[in-house]
């Protein structure tokens, strides 16, 4: 393996507090791996162990074939982009991009060409002579990406790079990042975010983190369609998680029999049924659930209904309704058996 | 047919704020102007007036003692400022960026240090490096020399002693604004610079220094002005061959009772200081201080 990242049981402790607990994970060469999780889940700490700004209390970090655990940051050969851009305000755009090349003592004659190439790649060629203060947030982020790419790193670390941008810019930058990755297929990217849309859009695989531990890892489709834990189901896609008991031919939700694939689950066992809100329909159908409307939210193209079903609140995203049902009215929801996933244990209702 | 009835807009009466007494604004300017004039401007005017005695400027400016004092004052001030800038920058870097136990306490002590009188530092240096100080005492004890004054440390009564004392005393005046500037630095910039391959020395040179240059310049300007006017340190070191402009004013006015000459030297000193203070203010404004 020439690039890629390997965490080998990496633990980070501050006193009695463990902020990263025995992380073992491999980012393949050329792969985009998203570390997805809420604040304090340990995802940024994991990234910082790769960058060299945090020293693991235990475990090793590898970049390619090299064990970089004890190397200082400037000898790791990484590119890094952070949330607030961290451009050098006293340097022009081209000088910012050239910073890494000069620090690595690249031949002087090559530097202008490499800078121009990186700026063209990010669409910032026309802004080379400007200072960062003369650029918008999105443009500054492009310069930060160009600066990281100019050194042609094997590994690119992106720490919530789009969090400071507004929704429209973020969407555009996501497309730009996807394009950049297609142009640089050999660069391994570790992408830290708390935004599931960014992770689902960009990543080849997603590692879901919570409370300093890796909870789940898989392709976006796997995590979204077949989550393995209640946390993943809840954090990625905000699924409905309903406590059920496994029956011979499905599950039982507070007396309502539902036909869903139960796999290897033993009859009589407690389990959690996961159903995505957009896979729930309004009206009669298979696996009907009757309940009362508790809240209705209009979301433009859709309505989100919150329906109380046997003491459990079920979220359903339905196409925009012409006549919204009044609060407290009785409605019937349904979902297809193949759209439900049965999770082993750990009820996380709500 | 309904008749339209025009409605007059409501009459709005502006209510003037009630004043119990009407005192013209300029009256409030009188007390500070009077105090300023009486306490500062009038004495300063007297000094300038005294300096304008016939032939006083020509005589003083032509004298070797004035030229020596001017040169000594300027080189001591410039030397001390350079020393303070270098030492202050290095120490502030360590305090701000090198994690060590007690860094915060050191930072707070710098604030306290600024309130110390200058003679106290000089007195402390006398205890350590004075002719009969600790350093010479240790030397005598180690070598078995007859008298403490036989020790090798006698520099405190030379210009180098004054320079050391001024650097010791004024360095915190550079550190304070620097530490404030360092605290405003985006640490992500330093981390990104490091990840791009920059070693610590390059980060200091290419990232930190350019960003704190205004604070460094402001601190340096302040120290330069203070060194130009420093009297206590020069007096307390007892450096006989070191005569600065403030010392010359003292000797002309108090020891020789030549007030006209003393006032000429004082006016030159004030002009130097005010000029440099103007530079300091300009730099401070740029630094946002």
pLDDT at A349: 36
Q: Is the ipTM of this complex over 0.90?
A: no
Are the C-beta atoms of residues B162 and B247 closer than 8 Å to each other?
Answer: no
- Residue range B14-32: average pLDDT? 75
Which residues have C-beta within 8 Å of that of residue A88, sequence separation ≥ 6? Answer: A95, A96, A99, A132, B189, B193, B206, B207, B210, B211
pLDDT at residue A49 above 70? yes
- Count CB atoms within 10 A of the CB of residue A140: 23
Considering only the beta carbons, identify the residue of B186, B189, B197 that sits closest to A104. Answer: B197
Are the C-beta atoms of residues A5 and A34 closer than 8 Å to each other?
Answer: no
Q: Which residues are bridge partners to A303 per DSSP? A: A298, A318
Specify the CATH architecture of the domain A239-343.
Answer: Beta Barrel (2.40)
List of chain B residues whose C-beta atoms are within 8 Å of the C-beta of residue A100: 196-198
Q: Is B205 on the interface with A (CB under 8 A)?
A: no
* Token representation of residue B242: 């070191």
Are the C-beta atoms of residues A237 and A224 closer than 8 Å to each other?
Answer: yes
Between B145 and A230, name the one with better pLDDT: A230
Which residues have C-beta within 8 Å of that of residue B81, sequence separation ≥ 6? Answer: B170, B220, B223, B224, B227
- Whether A5-225 and A239-343 share one fold: the answer is no
Specify the CATH architecture of the domain B48-287.
Answer: Orthogonal Bundle (1.10)
Distance of CA A84 to the CA centre of its chain: 19
- Residue range A99-124: average pLDDT? 94
Q: Is A147 on the interface with B (CB under 8 A)?
A: yes
**CA–CA separation, A140 and A138 (whole Å):** 5
pLDDT at B5: 47
**CA–CA separation, A149 and A116 (whole Å):** 11
Nearest to A270 by CA among A252, A246, A234, A240: A246
**CA–CA separation, A34 and A218 (whole Å):** 10
pLDDT at B279: 77
**CA–CA separation, A3 and A155 (whole Å):** 7
Between B121 and A216, name the one with better pLDDT: A216
pLDDT at A147: 95
Are the C-beta atoms of residues B233 and A139 closer than 8 Å to each other?
Answer: no
* Residue % of chain A over a pLDDT of 70: 98
Q: Are strands A32-36 and A188-193 parallel, antiparallel or unpaired?
A: parallel
How long a stretch of residues is chain B? 289
Q: Is B193 on the interface with A (CB under 8 A)?
A: yes
Q: Is A73 on the interface with B (CB under 8 A)?
A: yes
List of chain B residues whose C-beta atoms are within 8 Å of the C-beta of residue A51: 191, 195
Nearest to A338 by CA among A225, A195, A256: A225
pLDDT band at B2 (very low <50, low <70, confident <90, very high): very low
pLDDT at residue A340 above 80? yes
Q: Is A71 on the interface with B (CB under 8 A)?
A: no
Q: Where are the domains of chain B?
A: 48-287
Which residues have C-beta within 8 Å of that of residue B25, sequence separation ≥ 6? Answer: none
Tens-digit pLDDT profile for residues A148-176 = 999 999 899 999 998 888 888 888 888 88
- Count CB atoms within 10 A of the CB of residue A285: 14
Considering only the beta carbons, identify the residue of A80, A103, A157 that sits closest to B202. Answer: A103
**CA–CA separation, A96 and A130 (whole Å):** 10
In the CATH scheme, what is the homologous superfamily, with its name and number, of domain A5-225?
Answer: P-loop containing nucleotide triphosphate hydrolases (3.40.50.300)
Asked if B195 lies within 8 A of A78 by C-beta distance, the reply is yes
Helix (H, G, I), strand (E, B) or coil at B70: helix
pLDDT band at B11 (very low <50, low <70, confident <90, very high): low
**CA–CA separation, B57 and B74 (whole Å):** 19
Residue of B nearest to A78 (CA): B195
pLDDT at B17: 56
pLDDT at A1: 44
pTM of the model: 0.79
- Please give, rounded to a whole number of angstroms, the shortest distance from the CA of A192 to a CA of chain B: 15
Are the C-beta atoms of residues B229 and A123 closer than 8 Å to each other?
Answer: no
Are the C-beta atoms of residues A230 and A347 closer than 8 Å to each other?
Answer: yes
Asked if A74 lies within 8 A of B198 by C-beta distance, the reply is yes
Residue B254 host element (H or E): none
Can you give B25-37 as a three-state secondary structure string? HHHHHHHHHHHHH
Q: Give chain B's mean pLDDT.
A: 85
Asked if A103 lies within 8 A of B191 by C-beta distance, the reply is no
pLDDT at A73: 95
Phi and psi at A210, nearest 5°, equal -155, 135
Asked if A84 lies within 8 A of B188 by C-beta distance, the reply is yes
Q: Is B189 on the interface with A (CB under 8 A)?
A: yes
Phi and psi at A206, nearest 5°, equal -125, 135
* Token representation of residue B254: 């108090």
pLDDT band at B16 (very low <50, low <70, confident <90, very high): low
Which residues have C-beta within 8 Å of that of residue A49, sequence separation ≥ 6? Answer: A7, A10, A12, A20, A55, A56, A61
Tens-digit pLDDT profile for residues B189-207 = 999 999 999 999 999 999 9
pLDDT at residue A84 above 50? yes
């Amino acid at each position: 393996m020439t690039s890629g990242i390997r965490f080998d049981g990496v633990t980070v402790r501050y006193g009695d507090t463990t902020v990263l607990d025995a992380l073992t994970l491999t980012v393949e060469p050329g792969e985009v791996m998203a570390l997805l999780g809420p604040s304090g889940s340990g995802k940024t700490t994991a990234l910082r162990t790769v960058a060299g700004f945090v020293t693991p209390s235990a475990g090793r970090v590898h970049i390619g074939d090299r064990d970089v655990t004890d190397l200082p940051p400037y000898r790791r050969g990484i590119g890094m982009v952070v949330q607030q851009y961290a451009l050098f305000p006293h340097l022009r755009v081209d000088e910012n991009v050239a910073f890494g090349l000069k620090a690595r003592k690249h031949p002087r004659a090559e530097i202008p060409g490499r800078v121009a190439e990186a700026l063209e790649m990010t669409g910032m060629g026309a802004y080379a002579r400007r200072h960062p203060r003369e650029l918008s947030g999105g443009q500054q982020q492009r310069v930060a990406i160009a600066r990281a790419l100019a050194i042609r790193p094997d590994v690119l670390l992106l720490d919530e790079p789009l969090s400071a941008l507004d929704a429209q810019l973020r969407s555009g930058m996501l497309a730009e990042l996807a394009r950049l990755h297609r142009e640089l297929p050999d660069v391994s990217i570790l992408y830290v975010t708390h935004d599931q849309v960014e992770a689902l859009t960009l990543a080849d695989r997603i590692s879901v983190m919570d409370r300093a531990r890796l909870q789940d890892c898989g392709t976006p489709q796997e995590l979204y369609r077949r989550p393995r834990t209640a946390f993943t189901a809840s954090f990625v896609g905000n699924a409905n998680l309903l406590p059920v008991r496994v029956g011979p031919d499905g599950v039982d939700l507070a007396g309502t029999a539902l036909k869903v694939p139960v796999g290897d689950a033993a009859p009589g066992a407690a389990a959690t049924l996961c159903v995505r809100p957009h896979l729930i329909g309004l009206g009669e159908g298979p696996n009907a659930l009757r309940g009362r409307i508790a809240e209705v939210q209009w979301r433009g193209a859709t309505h989100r209904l919150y329906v109380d079903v046997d003491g459990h609140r079920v979220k359903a995203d339905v196409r925009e309704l012409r006549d919204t049902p009044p609060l407290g009215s009785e409605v019937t929801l349904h979902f297809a058996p193949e759209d439900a996933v049965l999770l082993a244990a750990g009820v996380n209702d709500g | 047919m309904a008749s339209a009835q025009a409605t007059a807009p409501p009459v709005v009466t502006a209510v003037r704020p009630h004043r119990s007494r009407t005192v013209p604004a300029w009256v409030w300017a009188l007390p500070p102007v009077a105090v300023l004039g009486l306490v500062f401007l009038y004495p300063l005017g007297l000094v300038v007036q005294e300096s304008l005695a016939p032939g006083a400027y020509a005589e003083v400016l032509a004298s070797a003692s004035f030229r020596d004092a001017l040169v000594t004052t300027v080189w001591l001030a410039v030397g001390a400022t350079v020393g303070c800038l270098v030492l202050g920058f290095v120490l502030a870097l360590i305090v701000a960026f090198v994690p060590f136990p007690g860094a915060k306490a050191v930072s707070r002590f710098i604030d306290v240090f600024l309130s110390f009188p200058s003679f106290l530092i000089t007195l402390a240096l006398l205890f350590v490096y004075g002719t009969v100080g600790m350093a010479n005492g240790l030397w005598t004890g180690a070598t078995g020399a007859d008298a403490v004054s036989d020790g090798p440390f006698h520099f405190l009564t030379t210009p180098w002693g004054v320079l050391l004392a001024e650097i010791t005393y004024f360095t915190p005046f550079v550190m304070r604004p620097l530490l404030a500037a360092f605290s405003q630095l985006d640490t992500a910039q330093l981390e990104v610079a490091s990840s791009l391959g920059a070693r610590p020395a390059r980060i200091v040179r290419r990232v930190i220094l350019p960003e704190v240059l205004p604070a460094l310049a402001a601190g340096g300007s302040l120290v330069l002005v203070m060194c130009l006017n420093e009297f206590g340190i020069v007096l307390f070191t007892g450096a006989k061959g070191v005569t600065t402009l403030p010392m010359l004013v003292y000797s002309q006015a108090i020891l020789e009772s030549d007030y006209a000459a003393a006032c000429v030297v004082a006016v030159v000193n004030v002009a130097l200081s005010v000029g440099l203070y103007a530079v300091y203010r300009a730099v401070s404004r740029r630094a946002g201080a």
